[in-house]
């Protein structure tokens, strides 16, 4: 059981790593890090003393002053190095650096110097060190205009804005979930590597990314259709795009009903991909679900009865409620990393159609139970 602490645990990569560690409680214990620890030696030393592994992710990516970025990042690395020295820690330290190390900018220089600072300190203390040189990272919940151009594009395309391309070059990308697995692999190996280059998993042009995202807006955001997703990058990009939708205002989405003397017809889902479609009845007062997925795409469609669908991001206390009524058939799609449920709040049986993009596999269910 390794005790792992993450500086910057509430940041983009940090939160994904923290939440993924929570899925493996039999292997890892998470040591919580607070933003103010860098300004309080006692708290920082207490944190460092508890950790078998420290993943240093806390850093500044963007600011109007390049000098301020440089000073901030070097200061954070220095404070951690000093704490390692004061406590005599032999923890395995992993440092998140950037492929910009070799570029002529102060951000890249700050990452290179920080990596050397922590490598020297870990080596002096007899600890293990891994300096990870990381390409451009994208994925759900990144900050627009800060973490990546993909975050910026996704936010604009889901909030009525028009993205623009400054330079249409090729970019080397890695999905945040893949990066987390790289970090876990380095933790498990326990081998010192002062300079470990994390390989990009995709190389694409900026315009190609924008074209895919614009297709997702037209097909999915505006039309409710699951687009054709052919590669793992397509799935990663689509789930990233979905995470920027304002669920409170977008859902529930009402279906188009076609009625005639025979009754009504409703198209529940139009697909560019396959999957599994299920039907359930739920008696009054019963709740189904209370679980989340980290990759699956799922739709709940209420066609008869009254339902309450609830969503909560697993690292948040905020619960969003959606009330659906079969007299006006509607659906809600489940974002990844959101635990969700559906409850029959009516007096008759609730009829629900469930669609998910992967047939259920008990050996790889991607289903984690957690109360909303």
pLDDT tens digits, residue range 156-211?
A: 999 999 999 999 999 999 999 999 999 999 999 998 899 999 999 999 999 999 99
Mean pLDDT of the chain: 94
Q: Where are the alpha helices (DSSP H) in the chain?
A: 12-21, 41-50, 66-87, 106-124, 149-157, 176-189, 206-216, 232-242, 247-250
Cα 3 to Cα 30: distance, rounded to the nearest angstrom: 6
Quote the pTM value: 0.93
Beta bridge partners of 343: 287, 308
| The pLDDT of residue 123 | 81
128 CB-near residues (< 8 Å, 6+ apart): 91, 92, 93, 122, 190, 191, 192
* Predicted pLDDT at 174: 98
**Distances in Å between the alpha carbon of 125 and those of 83, 119, 129, 309?**
11, 10, 10, 52
Can you list the domains of the chain with their CATH numbers?
Answer: 2-136+172-201 (3.40.50.720), 249-369 (2.60.120.10)
Helix (H) or strand (E) holding 171: strand 170-175
Identify the pLDDT of residue 100.
85
- Give the pLDDT of residue 359: 86
Give the C-alpha separation, 157 to 218, whole Å: 10
* pLDDT for position 62: 82
- Residue 316 CB neighbours (<10 A): 10
Q: For the chain, list residues with pLDDT below 70.
A: none
User: What pLDDT, on the 0 to 100 scale, is given for residue 346?
Assistant: 97
User: How far is Cα 174 from Cα 193, in angstroms, rounded to an integer?
Assistant: 20
pLDDT computed for residue 192 by the predictor? 87
Contacts of 5 by beta carbon, 8 Å cutoff, 6+ apart: 30, 31, 32, 33, 47, 48, 50, 51, 53, 54, 55
What is the distance between the alpha carbons of residues 88 and 157, in angstroms, rounded to a whole number? 49
Alpha-carbon distance of 265 to 263, in angstroms, equals: 7
DSSP 9-53: TTSHHHHHHHHHHTT-TTTEEEE---GGGGG-HHHHHHHHHH-SE
């Amino acid at each position: 059981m390794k005790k792992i602490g993450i500086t910057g645990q509430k940041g983009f990569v940090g939160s994904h790593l923290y939440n993924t560690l929570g899925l493996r409680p039999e292997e890892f214990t998470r040591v919580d890090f607070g933003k103010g620890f860098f300004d309080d030696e006692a708290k920082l030393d207490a944190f460092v003393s508890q950790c078998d592994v420290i993943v240093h992710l806390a850093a500044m990516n963007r600011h109007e002053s390049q000098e301020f970025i440089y000073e901030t990042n070097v200061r954070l690395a220095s404070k951690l190095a000093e704490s390692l020295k004061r406590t005599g820690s032999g923890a395995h330290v992993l440092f998140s650096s950037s492929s910009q190390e070799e570029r002529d900018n102060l951000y890249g220089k700050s990452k290179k110097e920080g990596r050397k600072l922590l490598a020297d300190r870990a080596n002096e203390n007899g600890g293990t060190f891994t300096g990870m040189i990381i390409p451009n990272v994208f994925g759900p919940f990144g900050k627009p205009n800060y973490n990546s151009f993909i975050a910026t594009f996704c936010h604009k395309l889901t909030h009525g804005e028009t993205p623009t391309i400054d330079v249409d070059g090729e970019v080397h990308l890695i999905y945040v979930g893949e990066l987390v697995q790289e970090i876990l692999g380095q933790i498990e190996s326990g081998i010192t590597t002062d300079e470990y280059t994390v390989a990009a998993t995709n190389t694409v042009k900026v315009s190609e990314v924008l074209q895919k995202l614009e297709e997702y807006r037209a097909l999915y955001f505006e039309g409710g259709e699951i687009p054709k997703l052919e590669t793992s990058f397509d799935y990663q990009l689509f789930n990233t795009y979905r995470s920027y939708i304002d669920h409170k205002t977008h859902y529930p989405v009402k279906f188009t009903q076609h009625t005639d003397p025979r009754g009504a017809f409703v198209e529940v889902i139009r697909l560019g991909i396959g999957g599994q479609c299920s039907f359930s009845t739920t008696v009054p007062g019963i709740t189904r679900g209370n679980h989340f997925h980290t990759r699956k795409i799922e739709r709940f469609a209420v066609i008869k009865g009254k339902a309450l669908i609830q969503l909560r991001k697993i690292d948040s206390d905020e619960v969003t409620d959606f009330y659906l009524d079969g007299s006006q058939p509607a659906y809600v799609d489940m974002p990844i990393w959101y635990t969700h449920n559906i409850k029959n709040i009516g007096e008759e049986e609730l009829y629900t159609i469930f669609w998910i993009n992967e047939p259920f596999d008990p050996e790889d269910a991607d289903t984690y139970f957690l109360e909303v």
